Chain A
């Protein structure tokens, strides 16, 4: 037995380890980042969530005041002010949606806050060409016009419209089209149905729908419509208060659970929230369905035609979370340890690429905003049959989101975050 035989034996073992089975990339249990830095990123993510939800709450409170002013003295002026307040409140709210998908607590809460598309006939009067979801028993329930409602075997008493009553009616009979609460219910009350389809124009509800003056009042059941607006706005404010509380530091709340979990699980939630909003929700549900089916009812802010802005701020939320930077409504900028820096430490080129693609998506969303604000061609007109240049704008935005999602996946991989699925969060990959 010579030494060289031993060397050959060792070489054989080495060769076996490298070849044949070496086709698949080998997993590596070592984390790809410094755990303490990652914890700081997760903590700062929670800070951004707190700031964004807090701004959304302030926006909702300002809208509450504007809605009250509308009810105090219904006029075109106070109605417009209320609509402006709604649009302003959307700016921070849409930036919170990146927190929705990774964090189940937000996703479950959201049903009462931003559910869409809705069968608005549940809430108030609708026109003759109104189309509701198939088999929806609540599609024309008209809560405002009725003090009772029969669902199956059960009679519901609707005499007093309160936040609690509306919360109970949301998703009536299990149909997700029965949206009684949240931003879009308020939007419908402030704008009314958009009966213009894919042509120019948004909802045109007159301020007199809120008037109690018998000479001026339109719409019918105005006292109940006013009660509805008050109750649904109060509910939104209290829902946002509850969510702000979940993100406050040093409390026994969701934030505490998030930051005391492993950094890996925190990062997974961040990536999942970014990727799901980017691809499935924004590119898919909110743009692709409406575009390919030429369906203005599948537009996100379909009563107000504010969809361009909502899409823009959804994208901004994704950017905020990646860069760890949020420009608050008061103009101050909250910055801190970022996911971007964590990715750059592993793969600087990938980080640059993702940042470039995030910017490209922002520009693509800006094009939708410009179309609406500079050329008065709104999202529901862009998706009209035969509007090729409009379809091109929307498609470019979808494609930009698809591209950035690919980079988000690669960034997660660079940090060896596997199993980008909230169901699998917490499992060892």
Chain B
């Protein structure tokens, strides 16, 4: 009898140590979310606000300083464009980080209206300035989202029909440029407040459960990942649409995001970097990666990011031109990489974490 018991105990202990060996337990989800809030989300929202403060300053400077020579004026336009690039790039990086207040109430369209298939931005910008030549930020906030954000700003700064070096053009478009910059600054400042508010703020709601937004950390994690995965899915659309994936292979260059400023691909890279921060965590702090016990899966995701980032860095020309060239194999390969990255997240990562990825608001046609 004793021997039987002893052998059973041996089996129990063997099983116990085996399970200890194989399953090294995950770090809790709450810690990951809390770290992401502190070290990834909050700093990113801060940098976004900063980029819009800079944009506001440069816009004021551009609009309020008379330019006497064409050299001065092209330099001033260049400075303003650089500030715009930063704000646009930071916005691209934010896409996977838009969990919470920014994903509510169509705020993201106030920053960017894409895709603008029918060139609403040109028509609505011109109509608005005809109607209100001395537009204020307050008036702008009551107008269509199409004219409130970076898409309209980009139209004014880059459209062929507008030469801001001409004083008459500068006079016409500056009220809108200043109003947009101010609208963006105010919007991001408000968002930062919504993240920072103690107890009821978004950062707190990702750190303590239950709260008004989330029942538990699983719900919060699912929400954060839905946003991250949707951003990756959107990269597929942002590349696939101009490439002709949705139009029988016929390229549609005007469906490139940011085609006027020629920054489509570098913006995609910024979005990918943002998505990766959710995965790895920032500055050595915890990310979603720490929740995955399956090393093979972790490695696979790391590699998928590596490959895609390297591909994006390899392009020299704007997407607008690349899609109409006869050889689009590099873009096709990039599309496959986006697709693979999306699938690993949507299927394997979600399954490994046992969370349900809900409907994406961008589903539909």
Contacts and interface: CB of A to CB of B under 8 A. Distances in A.
A24 B254 CA distance: 44
A292 B119 contact: no
Contact of B364 (A284, A385, A406, A409): A284
A336 interface: no
Contacts of A413: 356
User: What 4 A-B pairs come out closest when comparing CB atoms?
Assistant: A174-B250, A280-B363, A280-B364, A174-B247
Contacts of A135: 252-254
B119 A131 contact: yes
A385 B346 CA distance: 38
Interface in A275-307: 275-285, 288, 292-295, 297-298
A10 B118 contact: no
B109 interface: yes
Given A3-B5, A9-B12, A134-B119, A280 B247 contact: no
A177 B115 CA distance: 13
B144 to A, nearest CB: 5
Given A292-B144, A294-B146, 9 more contacts: A21-B25, A107-B365, A131-B123, A132-B118, A135-B252, A176-B247, A279-B359, A285-B364, A297-B118
B211 interface: no
Given A135-B254, A276-B363, A409 B12 contact: no
Chain B interface main SS type: loop
Contacts of A276: 359, 363-364
A173 B250 contact: yes
Nearest to B123: A131
A20 B25 CA distance: 6
10 contacts: A9-B9, A21-B25, A24-B355, A101-B364, A131-B123, A175-B250, A176-B247, A280-B362, A285-B365, A293-B120
Nearest to B113: A293
B145 A292 contact: yes
Contacts of B113: 293
B16 A13 contact: yes
A333 interface: no
Interface stretch (A39-47, A232-240, A418-426): A418-426
A6 B145 CA distance: 69
A313 to B, nearest CB: 17
Interface string A252-290: 000000000000000000000001111111111100100
Nearest to B105: A395
Contacts of A176: 246-247
A133 B351 CA distance: 40
Contact of B359 (A117, A275, A297): A275
Interface string B9-26: 100110110011001011
Contacts of B318: none
Contacts of B15: 13
A163 to B, nearest CB: 19
A154 to B, nearest CB: 12
Interface residues of B, number: 61
Interface in A115-157: 117, 131-135
B181 to A, nearest CB: 20
Given A134-B119, A284-B361, A429 B351 contact: yes
A330 interface: no
Contacts of A3: 5
B28 interface: yes
Contacts of B8: 6
A18 B284 CA distance: 30
Contacts of B16: 9, 12-13, 16
B365 A281 contact: yes
Most buried by A among B23, B358, B365: B365
A173 B15 CA distance: 64
Given A10-B12, A21-B25, A418-B351, A424 B364 contact: no
Contacts of B218: 23-25
Contacts of B351: 418, 429
Interface string B109-125: 10001001111100110
